[in-house]
Amino acid sequence: MPESELNHESPERTLVSGDLAAFSRISGVDLANVLRIARDRALVLGNAGLAPGWHDAGFALSDLSAGLAVIDLSGTGLADLAARGTTADLMGPGPSRTISFAGIPVVVEPKDDAVGLHVERGHLAYIWTWFAAVLREPSA
Amino acid sequence: MSGWRTGAGWALDRSESLSFTFDGKTVPTFKGDTVASALLASGQRIVGRSFKYHRPRGFWGAGSEEPNGIADIHGAQHRPNVQMTLEPAAQGLRLRSINGHPTAEHDRMAFLDRFSRFIPAAFYYKTFMRPDWHLFEPRIRAMAGLGRLDLAAQGFGPSASVNTTCDVLVVGAGPAGLAAAKTEAKAGRKVILCDEGMHVGGSLLYRPARIDGQEARDWVAAMVAELTALGVRILARTTAFGRYDHGLTGLAEAQPGGAAPRIWHVRAAETILAAGAIERHLPFANNDLPGVMSAEAGLHYLARFGVAVGRRVVVATTNGTAYDTARALHEAGAEVTLLDLRGRAAAGQHPFRIIAGQTIETALGRRQVEAVRLASGERIEADTVLVSGGHTPTVHLYSQAQGKLRWDEGLRAFLPGDPVPGLRVIGAAVGIYDLSRILPGQGVVATAYGSSTALWPKPRAKGRIWLDMQNDVTTKDVELAHRENLTSVEHLKRYTTLGMANDQGRMSNLPGLALMAELTGRSIPETGTTTYRPPFSPVPLASFAGLRGGELMNPVRRLPLEAEHRVDGALFREYGGWLRPAWFGPDEGAVMREAKAARQGVGLFDGSPLGKIEVIGPDAAKFVDFIYYNTMSTLKPGRCRYGFVLTEGGAVYDDGVLVRLDENRFIVSCSSSHVQGMGLLLEEWRQDKFDRSRVVIHDTTANYATLTVTGPKSRDLLQAIGLEAALDDASLPHMALTLGQFQGDEVRITRVSFTGDRSYELSIRADRALGLWRRLKEAGRAFDAVLLGGEALMILRAEKGYIVIGKDTDGRTRPMDLGVKGPFEKRKGDYLGRRSLHLPAVADQARDLVGLESLGAEPLPVGAHVVETVAGKRRSRGFVTTSHMSPNLNRPIALGLVEGGSARMGEVVTLHHLGQEVQARIAPVCALDPEGRLLDA
C-alpha cells in the first residue's frame, strides 16, 4: 500500500441524519444526489455548507471527510470483480447504498462507467489486499 | 484377471501417456482418464478397505454415487477423501488408499472381519464398557474416519466465492437438462447450466442412442455449441450441493492447481432439477466383493474410457437398460451372461446367454469375485458382476427445498410430490427413464427402460448382504435394530449408521428402509425417509472460507499514521482489531524505557482507534442518561465524565469518557475494541426506546486521529507547538475540553488521562494528523519526548489501577465489583442494566477488583487462580487479570478479581498456576500516586 495514500487529502463528505427533506430545503442539496444509507441517514458528497451538530429543523450533521477513502472501479472486469465481493448489484444496489463488500460495510456510489466504493479508511489496506488476491485468480 | 483396455474410449487422448502412483504402485494412464478408469484398466481390483471390517473393496460406480473408491492425494496438492471416479488422472499424482495399512491389497487389519459377529451395528453401546469406556474410546476413535489429513501439508489454495443471479438455473446437463436449458435460453432467459461431470451430457456420454439422426455424443456437442451461442453459462465439474432459503442454490466448481472448489451463490428466479437417477444395487450375499459393480458404470467405463471392467461378466438386471452394457461388453470381447430378473428376456436377438427369472444367491470369492451361485444352485464362473436393481431418482435438492416426496408404487421410488415454488424437476429425477419421453418428437432411437421389478432385501436371508458399503451396514444390522425395537427410520439410521457416511445413503437408504418396512409389516411410504440435508456431496471447508484466510481473515484496521510509525521503528501487534505499535525500538526492552521516560517527561501515543461516536439531538442528554450507569445529563458543555455502559444483564460492557460538546451534542469515547459494538448498542436503543427524530448516532471514529500527549511536561510541549488555545489549568482543568487550531484545522483538546499523569488527547481530522504528529515529535525533542507503544501504556495504566475492559473484567463483572456503587444506590430513573443489578443471582457472583502485591521478586502469572482449600478440595476464589514489572515502582504490580477482595485488604493469599504456587498480598488497586497528584503535575 503506497505510504502516501494514507495521508492523502480527502474529498469532503458529510453524514446527515434525521429529517432529510428539511436538510435538503435548508442546505439546497438535492436528495437525488446524496447516497442514502438508511431510512433517515445519508452521505452527502461535498460540503453541505452547514455547521456540524444539531439543527432545529430536525437533522444533525457530522463531518466524515477524512473517515472514508474512495476507490473507483471501472473496466470490463467490473461485473466479475463485483460478483466476488458482494451479493448486491453494484450498479443498482437498491434504496440503501450501504452494502457488504469483501466482508466489510461500504457505501456504493454508482457513476457513469464506474463505481465508487467509500470505505472506512482503516480498512483501506485490507481491501487493497483483497483486490490483489481476487485479481490473481482466473475469471469465473 | 479383471479390467483391461480396449482400443476405444472417446474421452482419451492416447498421444499423451501419463502415470501416477497408487499405494506406491505406478499406474499408467492417458490424458482424459479418471483415476478410477486408469486403475480399472491396470487391473487394480482392490482400491480400499471398508470402514469397520476392513473388507477389500473395489469400484462400484463411475460418478459421485461411488462409495468405495476414495483415496488421499499426497504431496504438493494434498487432499484427503478424494472420489477417484471424479478425479482426473494427472501426471505424478500420489494416491494412498483409505483404511488399508500398509496398502489396500495387503491390509494388516483385515483380520477384523473374522470378528464381525462381535462388532455389529451399535456395538459401542454394549461392549467396551468396563472398567471404563474412556479407556477404549481413543483407540476406537483412531480407527474411525476414512482418509487421513497430512497436517504438514499446505492445504487448499483459496478461491473467492461468486455471487450471481439468473432467470433459470438448470442442475444436471444430461439430455433433460440440456433440452430444458435450450428451451429457456431461446425464450430469452438468462440461464446457468451446471453438471458435476468433467463433460456435460450425462448418460448420453456412454449410452448408445440416436437423436434427430445424430449419434448421442454428436447431439450433445451440437447442443453445447447452440447453448453457448445463446449465452448460456455452462459450468462443468460443478456440483449443486445445497438448496437454501429464497431460491439460493450453492454450487461447488472444481478448480485447478490445488485451489479449493469455488462456491457459487446462485439466486435464480427458477431452478430446474435434472439431476438424473442413481442405479440401485441388488441384495445377495457378499455383494460387496471387488468386481461387483453398477451395470451403468460398466457401460460408462467401456464407452468413455475404453476400459472393459472384466472378461467373464455376469450382468443381473431388473430393467431393460443393462442390455446395453451386456451387448457392449460382448462386442468388446468379454464373455457375458445376463440374468433378467423380471422373469423373461427382453425382446430381440441377443448374442450372449440370457437366464430369465433367476436371482443371485451369493457372489463367491475371497478377495474378489470368482463366481456367482444362483438361487437354482447353478454356479457361473465370473470375474465381474454388473448389477442394475432399478433406479432411485436424485430428489435431494427438491427435498432440501422442503418438497414432500410421494411414493410411486409402479416405479418403486420416491418422487417429487407437490410443486415447490420456483423449482421444477424433470427427466429421470421424476422417474422418466426413457430417452424418447425425455426428448419427445426428436426421433430418439435408444434402448427402452421397459418393465421393471424390484428386489428388496428379505428378512432372514442367508449370508452377509451389504446395504451401506461405506459404514459396513448389512441386512443383519437392520434386523438387529428391529429386534431392539429401533424401528423408526430415524432410529434405524442412527443405530446402524445406515446412510451416515459421505455418500449419505444414495444407494443404501431405500433398500434399508424397504427391509425395515417388511420387518415391521408397514409399507415403504409408511416407513418414510430421513431428512435430506446439504451438502449433496462433501464440500471442503476451505471453499466456504473463500478468501477469508491469512491476512484476509478478520482483517485488522490500520492507523492513519502507520507509515510514520514504521519509519520510527515501531513493532506492531494487534490490539482490539487494530494494528498498533507495541513498542518503538529493536527489542522488548524498549517497553520499560518508554514507561519510565513517559512518567518523567512526556510521552507521545497514537490513540486514534479510541471511539468517537457522536450522540446528537435535543434528547441526547436523556439518551446518554439511559445508556450510562452514571448520570451524564448533568455534564456541562466543555466537560468530560468517566462512566460505564452495562449489558442488560448488569455486567460492565464498556467504560470510557463521555464528552459534552454543547447542549445537544456528546461524544462517546468508548474503548477502541468496542466501537462497533457500542455503535450497534447505541443505535439499537435509539430505535427501540427513543424518538428517532430527536436523537441520532454518528460514528465518526475513523474521521479523527487522536494523538495523546502525556506526562509532567505535556502542557509545556503543547504550549511550545502553539495550538491557539488556553491551556492553563484554570481554563482547561482535568476532564475538560477546549478547541484549538493547528495550521488552520480545528483540534479538539480533551484533558483526560489513561496514564494517571497530566495528559491531553488531541483529535484532528485523520488526513491532517501527520503534520501535527511531526510537529509534536520535533518540538518534543526539547522535552525528551518518547514515543509510547501499547505495551508501555498498559504498564502505566496498571500502575494506577485503571481497568481494561475484557482483561480486568469478564462477563460477570458488575460496576460495584469495580468499586463504583454510587449510581446503583442513589440513581433514580431507569438505565441500561439497572433491573439486573437488583437480581440476587447477579449479586451472588460478586468478585472485587483488587491489587495484588507479589511477595516474590517476579511478576505474578496472569490467569493464576487465588485458591483456598475447602473441605479438602482446592477451590478458586478469583484470578490475576493484569500483571507487570513496574519500572516506576521497581517492583511487580498486579490486578485481580477476587471474591470478597475489598474486605480482605492486607491478607496474604495463595495463587495456583500450572502446578506452581506463589503468594501475594491483597492491596488497593492503585499502586502509584493514590492521591492523584500527577494529574496536575
pLDDT digits (tens, 9 = 90+) for A106-130: 999 988 889 999 999 999 999 999 9
The answer to whether B630 and B731 have CB atoms below 8 angstroms apart is: no
Provide the residue count of chain B.
Answer: 937
Q: Which residues of A touch B616 (CB under 8 A)?
A: 17, 53-54, 60, 62
Domains B466-527 and B557-609+703-797 share a fold: no
Which amino acid makes up residue B500?
M
Helices then strands, each counted (H, E), chain A: 3, 9
The predicted pLDDT at position B151 comes to 85
CB contact under 8 A, A104 and B692: no
Q: Which residues of A touch B559 (CB under 8 A)?
A: 122
Residue of A nearest to B567 (CA): A3
Residue window 668-687, chain B: list those with CB within 8 Å of chain A.
Answer: none
Residue to mutate among B190, B238, B616, with most A CBs inside 10 A, is B616
Match 439543527 to its residue by C-alpha cell: A55
pLDDT at A131 over 80: yes
Yes or no: is domain B798-936 CATH 3.30.750.24?
no
pLDDT tier, A9 (very low <50, low <70, confident <90, very high otherwise):
low
Residue window 143-162, chain B: list those with CB within 8 Å of chain A.
Answer: 158-162
Q: How far apart are CA B329 and CA B313, in angstroms?
A: 8
CB contact under 8 A, A54 and B618: yes
Q: How crowded is residue B551: how many other Cβ atoms within 10 Å of its Cβ?
A: 12
User: From edge to edge, which strands make up the β-sheet containing B371-374?
Assistant: B360-364, B371-374, B379-381
Residue to mutate among B667, B682, B767, with most A CBs inside 10 A, is B767
The percent helix, strand, coil of chain B (3-state, each to 5) is 25, 30, 45
The predicted pLDDT at position A3 comes to 40
Residues linked to residue B183 through DSSP beta bridges, in sequence order: none
Q: Which residues of B touch A140 (CB under 8 A)?
A: 162, 262, 264
Question: What residue ranges do the domains of chain B occupy?
Answer: 163-278+393-446, 279-390, 466-527, 557-609+703-797, 613-699, 798-936
CATH no. of B279-390? 3.50.50.60
CB contact under 8 A, A84 and B696: no
3-state secondary structure of B542: helix
Q: Which residues of A touch B578 (CB under 8 A)?
A: 122
Yes or no: is domain B466-527 CATH 3.40.640.10?
no
> Which homologous superfamily is B163-278+393-446 in?
FAD/NAD(P)-binding domain (3.50.50.60)
Give how far B769 is from chain A: nearest CA, Å. 8
Averaged pLDDT for residues B774-788: 97
The predicted pLDDT at position A6 comes to 42
User: Beta B94-97 vs B13-22: how paired, if at all?
Assistant: parallel
- Of the candidates A60, A62, A83, the beta carbon closest to that of B162 is on A83
Q: Which residues of B touch A65 (CB under 8 A)?
A: 703, 765, 767
> Residues B719-764: pLDDT tens digits?
999 999 999 999 999 999 999 999 999 999 999 999 999 999 999 9
Contact with chain A for residue B653, Cβ under 8 A: no
- Of the candidates A41, A64, A87, the beta carbon closest to that of B700 is on A64
Q: How crowded is residue B344: how many other Cβ atoms within 10 Å of its Cβ?
A: 10
Averaged pLDDT for residues B202-214: 96
Contact with chain A for residue B265, Cβ under 8 A: yes
pLDDT tier, A8 (very low <50, low <70, confident <90, very high otherwise):
low
CB contact under 8 A, A125 and B704: no
Q: Which grid cell sits at B384?
A: 465381474
CB contact under 8 A, A140 and B768: no
Residue window 17-76, chain B: list those with CB within 8 Å of chain A.
Answer: none
- Of the candidates A19, A83, A122, the beta carbon closest to that of B693 is on A19
Q: Which of A74-78, B307-311, B558-562 has the lowest mean pLDDT?
A: A74-78
CB contact under 8 A, B766 and A53: no
Q: Which residues of B touch A123 (CB under 8 A)?
A: 555, 557-558
Q: Which of A1-10, B370-379, B415-424, B812-821 has the lowest mean pLDDT?
A: A1-10
The answer to whether A132 and A124 have CB atoms below 8 angstroms apart is: no
Which amino acid makes up residue B275?
A
Complex prediction ipTM: 0.95
> Which homologous superfamily is B557-609+703-797 in?
Probable tRNA modification gtpase trme; domain 1 (3.30.1360.120)
Q: Which grid cell sits at B788?
A: 509510547
Q: Which residue, among B96, B102, B123, B1, has the nearest Cα to B54 in the 3D structure?
A: B102
Angle at B754 between CA B749 and CA B756, to 5 degrees: 105
Q: Which grid cell sits at B73?
A: 492425494
Kindly give, in sequence order, each residue whose CB lies less than 8 Å from that of residue B355, ignoring residues fewer than 6 positions away. Answer: B337, B338, B339, B340, B374, B378
CB contact under 8 A, A83 and B693: no
Yes or no: is domain B613-699 CATH 3.30.70.1400?
yes
Contact with chain A for residue B267, Cβ under 8 A: yes
Contact with chain A for residue B937, Cβ under 8 A: no
> Residues A17-61: pLDDT tens digits?
999 999 999 999 999 889 999 999 999 998 889 999 999 999 999
